[in-house]
Structure 1
């Protein structure tokens, strides 16, 4: 995965310019990629039928899967955007706006196109045969087309090109990364609170017009109600890069993030269930801002503290994580079909599917990346 998720293929290296490689961020990306697999395994057997293959649940354990999906959604894609943004300035500094934009079109655009043309037809074949066989497959495919989980690459590409355009227009001199010691706690905490406040306001207003559960067809964005979170987390990553905030932030921010997340769940959770759509959308927007930033801080600090190094296994997982992100729908659907005959609670089938899908996805990704043309892109 050598770039953002490598997964976001956006920064050529997981390090700010002139600094040692940040192996712990590679490990965060690996963990987030596994979480993507878990997320889609959960929707396969849960009560939220938004995947290429779903089995209607028949037991209460599916509710636990729904909770997992909601918690994941509150922060994990925002964290992907934060990490991606963190490496964009250094990449653009090295290449210049024009070369950077071309690189992103290749590294993000080609995998996106490959998913739509090659992966998605395989992932949707079962759904067509069981639910839409009366319609010719080409017509079904065209009328239902979207980028699936590679919407992330689509949105990241847009964000990256906007930043490249900004840099090209402003023609600002390149600033080297600053600072070596820890950030002052009051500065770091104040910045985090400021980010949450701005994000909470924007999310609350945005959700009045784009409520939770909205889907944008063709563009394929499954969670447009989170778009302000994604944009602000990417921007926060870009701004944090110059002063190396992810490396220098105090570890105690994890407790701040965890505490805010708990308070948001306690005080805003009941309002989310309100019959008043305005109150519910405001509470949801604020809660997703608090959880998005708070839980991201917890994850970053934990991995920085406890997973600073690397090794052959982590290098293998890191190198292939982006490819896993692109191809995993086909693997999950194929394995879920093989597990159709397994009679078990939803949460058990989820666990079996996840345990099987992790090695299967990484092995298939490694095989595909033996093809030189594939390896150059993902």
Structure 2
């Protein structure tokens, strides 16, 4: 399988024209997928919106821990996902050309997106609200109501498809239209990276004044997209210039420490606000000193994670034991289909572990993640044509 959608495998063409596996990219993608599951399980036990089923509690410790997890996760995971997707986009286009590239994207991204938006999400919404909705319309009628059609957690696929189309148009309009050669430009220095962080943070602050992250347009949170566009573009530049191969030991260690410090600072910001009984809405946008500081730190986490995670996985996780290889192959399917599995698991086990929300969270994350991979491996990917898409 090729990594034509940025989420499937880690296969790219070498400069000689052959292809070689990049196992640490496979493992990074698997890691990001597990963190997406973690985020959605945390939403179940620690949020009031953005998910399908909730078990909220007044346990201060659980609420604080889950709030930290969700906010730190949100700061960098999806940005790194877009970076990985951007990294594999130029090579896929170079090999296939515009028509085949877009056809492949529509099959591998568009079909799963349509299945989730038109079938899975309406089904989850109906089943979790059946007492109220059954009086209005039947389950089958529910599938044809446009008000229930939305990408949900599959919004990433919607945006990735848009980015792919825009990239294809950009390549077609370029002069000359031929694919550029790999320049081999050295990895950016610390000054360039810091400047990138500051410019990206400034752009994000401006956008979030008008589009706080909770505000949606066509189900998309525009306040986050400055970073997503930047990281997708950074992935393209990284591919053309072999940047990830240029992350030296010194660079990797230095930015791992910087990223850890940024995460610590972000946690302190959240904890101080929490302990003062302040709303955490300043993390989503607006114009205040807290927002400016939090956005700068959040951007540092995102950019630093892009560097440090790539370094850590290339150095320590550039191999795949049997079970990891299988999980990596199933990760794209899990990314798409984890929502109904997690919702079903948390709902059906709601009375099993008593009222301890943190214990429920830990158990649901471990057992729910395992169930997601098992269902996708033994059921979803066994369906006709599934391996062509997933």
Q: Give the alignment's TM-score, normalised by structure 2.
A: 0.86
Structure with more relative contact order (C-alpha pairs < 8 Å, separation 6 or more):
1
State how far apart, in whole Å, the 2-side matches of 1:253 and 1:135 are: 59
For residue 145 of structure 1, the aligned residue among 136, 149, 154 is: 149
- Which range is displaced more, 153-162 or 269-278? 269-278
* Residues 82 and 117 (structure 1), Cα distance of their counterparts in 2 relative to 1, 3 Å cut: same
The match for 2:386 is 374
Residues 1:112 and 1:176: Cα distance change in structure 2 (over 3 Å)? same
The residue aligned with 1:286 is: 296
Partner residue of 2:229? 231
- In 2, distance between residues paired with 1:347 and 1:297? 32
Equivalent residues in 2 for 1:74-153 (5 A)? Answer: 74-137=75-138, 138=141, 142-153=146-157
Task: Report what 1:243 is aligned to.
Answer: 241
Partner of 1:262: 261
Instruction: Measure, in 1, the Cα distance between the counterparts of 2:48 and 2:201.
Output: 25
Contact 1:215 1:224 survives alignment (8 Å): yes
Aligned 8 A contact 1:16 1:241 in 2: no
What is the RMSD computed on CA atoms of the aligned residues? Answer: 2.7
Question: Could you tell which deviates more after superposition, 128-137 or 316-325?
Answer: 128-137
Change (3 A) 1:93 1:142: same
Distance in 2, Cα, partners of 1:318 & 1:294: 24
Residues 203 and 286, structure 1, Cα contact 8 Å, conserved in 2: no
| In structure 1, C-alpha distance between the alignment counterparts of 2:281 and 2:344, rounded to whole Å | 36
Aligned mate of 1:307, from 317, 335, 339: 317
- For 1:33 and 1:303, the matched residues in 2 are separated by 15
Shift of 1:336: 0.7
Aligned partner of 2:20 in structure 1 is 20
The counterpart of 2:357, out of the listed 342, 346, 353, is 346
Report the Cα distance in structure 2 between the residues aligned to 1:264 and 1:204, rounded to whole angstroms.
19
Q: CA deviation at 1:85?
A: 0.2
Aligned match for 2:343, one of 330, 333, 345 = 333
Which residue of structure 2 aligns with residue 167 of structure 1?
Answer: 171
Cα distance, 1:260–1:370 mapped onto 2, change above 3 Å: closer
Q: For residues 3 and 327 of structure 2, what CA distance do their matches in structure 1 show?
A: 13
Aligned with 1:252: secondary structure?
helix
Q: Distance in 2 between matches of 1:116 and 1:8?
A: 19
Superposed CA offset, 1:186-214 (max 9, x none): x3323322321221121011111101322
Distance 1:79 1:130 in 2: 40
Structure 1 match to 2:55: 55
Contact 2:82 2:231 in 1 (8 A): yes
Comparing 114-123 with 253-262, which one deviates more in the overlay?
Answer: 253-262
Work out the CA distance in 2 between the residues paired with 1:169 and 1:32: 33
Q: Given that residues 259 and 308 in structure 2 are in contact (C-alpha distance below 8 angstroms), is that contact kept between their aligned partners in structure 1?
A: no
Q: 1:134 to 1:150 in 2, by over 3 A?
A: same
Q: Give, in angstroms, the shift of residue 337 of structure 1.
A: 1.4
CA distance in 2, matches of 1:344, 1:58: 11
Residues 264, 337 of structure 1: CA spacing in aligned structure 2 closer, same or farther, 3 A cutoff? closer
What is the Cα deviation at residue 156 of structure 1?
0.6
> Whole-Å Cα distance in 2 between the matches of residues 214 and 80 of structure 1?
22
Aligned-pair CA distance for 1:346: 1.5
Equivalent residue pairs, number: 368
Where does the alignment leave 5 or more consecutive residues of structure 2 unmatched? 274-279
C-alpha distance in structure 2 between counterparts of 1:296 and 1:75, whole Å = 8
**Secondary structure in 1 matching 2:351:** coil
Aligned partner of 1:361 among 372, 378, 381: 372
The DSSP-based 3-state class of the residue aligned with 1:242 is helix
> Does 1:316 find its partner at 2:326?
yes
Gaps of 5+ in 1: none
In structure 2, the residue matched to 1:190 is 191
User: How much has 1:7 moved relative to structure 2?
Assistant: 5.8
Change (3 A) 1:311 1:372: farther
* Displacement after TM superposition at 1:334 (Å): 0.8
1:224-266 CA distances to partner (integer Å, 9 max, x unpaired)? 2111000000000001101211222123334335425625763
Shift of 1:177: 3.5
Which one is further off, 248-257 or 289-298?
Answer: 248-257
